[in-house]
Amino acid sequence: MGGVVNTNQKQMKKTKVFLLILMSLVLMVAIFLYIKRDKFAYVGSVDYIEVDCLKKAEILSQVYKSDQRIRRENNLIKHAKEDHRNQELVISIIEKCGMPTLQEVNQEQMNAIWLGLQHTVSKYRIKYFPLIEKAVKNGDLSKEQYALMKDRILMDEGKPQIYGSQIENGKLYDLAEPETVNERRREMGLEPIEDYLRKFDITWEAK
């Protein structure tokens, strides 16, 4: 009987030691994540925020300059919060002030709208894509911008892209009807796909 009690006590001690070690590891990870919290790209969901519609042109100018600086530095983790804020400003302007036109803002500011949607989560890209289509038809945005966002949405949905603008894991993402892609690209004002992919050190031949 005494042997059984001793065995149980030893087992309990082992369990306590294991739990203490596990709790210590969890605490260490939590402390590390807290200290390094600004170094991680995910900063929360993209949500609507308050914006002053009378200042939308000024806000979009700031978004454009910020977005381009972030892309030049090519360090999205470092600038995750700023990039997240830009996306929220863009979707909030569209939702609360309406889709801008070149009668209200300049081209750079219109481009900020496109950049914010191109770089945000897919649900907003899909939701506001009809507004992008309309802006392209009205001459407020370019056909090239339409093509890039259309391909991005198709990739989000797991479908083949049309214009060959999206790269995934160092390779051209799945492309529909590759033998005629340059015709489609030309219609959108895009360079031949071979020249485009050369910038990414990707060699490509239509199959």
User: Are residue 121 and residue 146 in the same domain, yes or no?
Assistant: no
Region 132-144 average pLDDT? 98
Last residue of a domain, one of 91, 110, 141: 141
Question: Does residue 94 have a pLDDT over 80?
Answer: yes
Count of alpha carbons within 13 angstroms of residue 91, beta-carbon side = 23
Does the pLDDT at position 98 exceed 50? yes
- Quick one: 88 and 132 in the same domain? yes
Q: What is the DSSP string of 138-183?
A: TTSS-HHHHHHHHHHHHHHTT--BSSS--EETTEE--BSSGGGHHH
Domain count, the chain: 2
Residue 22 within a domain:
no
Among candidate residues 107, 124, 141, the one where a domain is terminated:
141
Task: Kindly state whether residue 30 falls inside one of the protein's structural domains.
Answer: no
Closest CA to 95 of 145, 58, 56, 136: 56
In a domain, 192, yes or no: yes
Q: Using pLDDT thresholds of 50, 70 and 90, give the confidence band for residue 26.
A: confident
Greater model confidence, 59 or 203: 59
Same domain for 136 and 173? no
Q: What gap in Å lies between CA 112 and CA 64, rounded to an integer?
A: 5
38, part of any domain: no
Q: Are residues 57 and 124 in the same domain?
A: yes
Given this model, what pLDDT does residue 123 score? 93
For residue 39, what pLDDT is reported?
42
pLDDT score, position 37: 42
Residue 206 is predicted with a pLDDT of: 73
Write down the pLDDT at residue 186: 97
The reported pTM is 0.76
- Pair 54, 117 in one domain: yes
Whether residue 157 sits in one domain with residue 201:
yes
Is residue 40's pLDDT more than 50?
no
Q: Quick one: DSSP state of residue 120? A: S
Same domain, 136 and 154: no
Q: Mean pLDDT score of the chain, rounded to an integer?
A: 88
State mean pLDDT over 51-64: 97
Is 116 domain-assigned? Answer: yes
Q: For residue 190, what are the domain limits? A: 142-207
What mean pLDDT comes out for the span 61-88? Answer: 89
pLDDT at 77: 78
Place of tokens 């300049």: 106
Residues 127 and 56 in one domain: yes
Domain limit, last residue, from 121, 141, 161: 141
Does residue 84 carry a pLDDT above 50?
yes
- Cα–Cα distance for residue pair 81/87, rounded to 1 Å: 10
Average of per-residue pLDDT across 21-45: 61
137 and 54 in a single domain? The answer is: yes
- Specify if 28 maps to a domain: no
Domain co-membership, 78 together with 131? yes
Predicted confidence band at 12 (pLDDT cuts at 50, 70, 90)? confident
| Domain identity same for 133 and 157 | no
Residue 53: inside a domain: yes
**Is residue 29 pLDDT above 90, yes or no?**
no
**In terms of domains, do 120 and 186 share one?**
no
Which carries the bigger pLDDT value, residue 28 or residue 121? Answer: 121
Average pLDDT over every residue of 176-189? 96
In a domain, 76, yes or no: yes
